C-alpha cells in the first residue's frame, strides 16, 4: 500500500520525470473504471477525489444504450480532481445504428463520420479537465514513480475490423489495422518507463473461451484486437516492462462470471467491465472499479468498491 501520498507534477500526465535520487519507489495506485453505461453519480466523484488513488483510467462506453446520455456522464467525470484519462469506446460518439452497422457489416457509413466527430469534440470539452485520449502516450510522474500509459485505438468493438474507420482516418490518419499496429508500436518506441496499455476492447488471445477475460460466449470466437495484441508483443520483444493491459467492452457480472484478470509473464491483463457497474448485492450498493497497483514488482489488481463516505 502507499505509505505516503505522492506529490503531483503540475501537469500530472505530461509532467517531468521523477526527480533522480529520491527514495526507492513505493507504488502507484490507479483506479480503472470499466464500462460506465450511464452508472456514475456524484458519490463516485467524491469517493475518488478523496481516495488515495493517483489517477483514474476509464476504458470507455460512458452512456447507456443511447448516446444522448454521453454529455451527462462526461460532465460528471469532469469533476474528478485526480488525473483522469478516458479512452472512447464504441458507444462514445457513435449512435445505436452506427454500432449496429459496424456489428453487422464491419463498417458504418462514411457520411456518419462528421456527426461522430462532432460528438467526440463535444465529449472532449465536456470531460475537461479529464482528458479524452487515443493513440497517445501519457507519461505520468509522481514524486517516486513514473509510468507510461499508452492509450490505444478509440472506438474499438470487433477485433476483426478497424471499427469506425472513417472516424479514425479523419481524427488520427489511421485506415487499417496494420496502420493502427504501426501507430501503437511507434508509441512503444517512445516509452522509457513501465508501460500500462489502456484500451476499450481487449487484445486478441484472451477470448477463445467464455470464461476468458474477453470471451465471447455467444459467438465462440476471440473478439480481441489484433493490433493491440501485436503492439503488446512488440513492447515485450523490445524489452519494455509491460506491467498491465486494461480494457473493458466485454461485460461481466455476477451472472456471467469470468476470469477478469490474467497474468501472462510479467504482464497483468484486466477486464474492468463489470456491468451494471452499480448494483445492490446483499442489501449493499456496490460501485465497481478495479484498483491497479504498480510497483517495483509485478502489478496487482483487486476489485474495489466506491463506498459512500
- Site residues (vs Zn ion, CB under 5 A): 61, 89-90, 249
Comparing CB distances to Zn ion, the nearer of 89 and 95 is 89
Tell the smallest beta-carbon distance from residue 41 to Zn ion (Å): 21
Comparing CB distances to Zn ion, the nearer of 88 and 295 is 88
Q: DSSP letter at 144? A: S
Tell the smallest beta-carbon distance from residue 92 to Zn ion (Å): 9
Tell the smallest beta-carbon distance from residue 91 to Zn ion (Å): 6
Task: List the grid coordinates of 59.
Answer: 476504458
Comparing CB distances to Zn ion, the nearer of 61 and 212 is 61
Question: Residues near 85 by Cβ (< 8 Å), separated by ≥ 6?
Answer: 13, 55, 56, 57, 58, 130, 131, 133, 138, 149, 151, 198
Task: Report how far residue 85's alpha carbon sits from residue 14's, in angstroms, rounded to the nearest whole number.
Answer: 12
Task: Report how far residue 196's alpha carbon sits from residue 160's, in angstroms, rounded to the nearest whole number.
Answer: 23
Task: Report how far residue 229's alpha carbon sits from residue 202's, in angstroms, rounded to the nearest whole number.
Answer: 8
Comparing CB distances to Zn ion, the nearer of 61 and 126 is 61
Measured in residues, the chain has a length of 309
Tell the smallest beta-carbon distance from residue 153 to Zn ion (Å): 12
Comparing CB distances to Zn ion, the nearer of 67 and 193 is 67
Comparing CB distances to Zn ion, the nearer of 34 and 205 is 34
Tell the smallest beta-carbon distance from residue 157 to Zn ion (Å): 6
DSSP letters, 208-268, are: SSTTSTT--TTTTS---BHHHHHHHHHHHHTT--EEEEEE--S-B-SSS----EEEETTEE
Tell the smallest beta-carbon distance from residue 163 to Zn ion (Å): 10
- Which of 223, 217, 209, 272 lies closest to 245, judged by CA? 272
Q: Which residue is nearest to Zn ion (CB)?
A: 249
Amino acid at each position: 500500500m502507499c505509505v505516503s501520498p505522492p506529490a503531483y507534477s503540475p501537469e500530472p500526465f505530461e509532467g517531468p520525470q521523477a526527480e533522480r535520487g529520491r527514495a526507492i519507489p513505493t507504488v502507484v495506485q490507479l483506479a480503472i473504471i470499466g464500462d460506465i453505461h450511464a452508472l456514475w453519480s456524484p458519490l463516485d466523484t467524491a469517493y475518488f477525489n478523496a481516495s488515495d488513488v493517483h489517477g483514474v483510467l476509464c476504458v470507455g462506453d460512458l452512456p447507456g444504450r443511447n448516446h444522448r446520455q454521453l454529455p451527462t456522464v462526461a460532465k460528471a467525470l469532469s469533476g474528478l480532481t485526480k488525473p483522469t484519462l478516458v479512452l472512447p469506446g464504441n458507444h462514445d460518439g457513435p449512435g445505436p445504428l452506427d454500432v449496429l452497422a459496424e456489428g453487422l457489416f464491419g463498417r458504418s457509413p462514411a457520411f456518419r463520420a462528421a456527426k461522430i466527430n462532432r460528438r467526440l469534440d463535444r465529449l472532449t470539452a465536456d470531460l475537461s479537465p479529464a482528458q479524452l485520449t487515443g493513440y497517445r502516450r501519457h507519461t505520468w510522474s509522481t514524486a517516486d514513480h513514473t509510468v507510461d500509459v499508452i492509450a490505444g485505438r478509440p472506438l474499438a468493438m470487433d477485433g476483426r475490423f478497424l471499427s469506425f474507420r472513417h472516424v479514425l482516418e479523419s481524427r488520427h490518419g489511421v485506415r487499417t489495422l496494420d496502420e493502427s499496429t504501426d501507430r501503437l508500436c511507434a508509441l512503444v518506441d517512445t516509452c522509457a518507463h513501465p508501460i500500462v496499455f489502456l484500451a476499450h476492447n481487449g487484445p486478441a488471445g484472451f477470448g477463445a473461451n467464455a470464461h476468458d477475460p474477453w470471451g465471447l460466449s455467444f459467438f465462440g470466437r476471440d473478439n480481441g484486437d489484433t493490433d493491440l495484441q501485436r503492439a503488446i508483443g512488440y513492447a515485450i520483444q523490445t524489452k519494455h516492462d509491460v506491467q498491465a493491459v486494461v480494457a473493458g467492452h466485454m461485460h461481466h457480472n455476477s451472472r456471467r462470471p469470468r476470469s477478469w484478470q490474467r497474468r501472462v509473464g510479467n504482464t497483468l491483463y484486466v477486464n474492468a467491465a463489470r456491468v451494471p457497474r452499480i448494483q445492490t448485492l446483499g442489501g449493499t450498493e456496490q460501485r465497481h472499479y478495479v484498483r491497479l497497483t504498480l510497483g517495483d514488482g509485478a502489478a496487482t489488481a483487486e476489485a474495489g468498491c466506491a463506498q459512500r463516505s
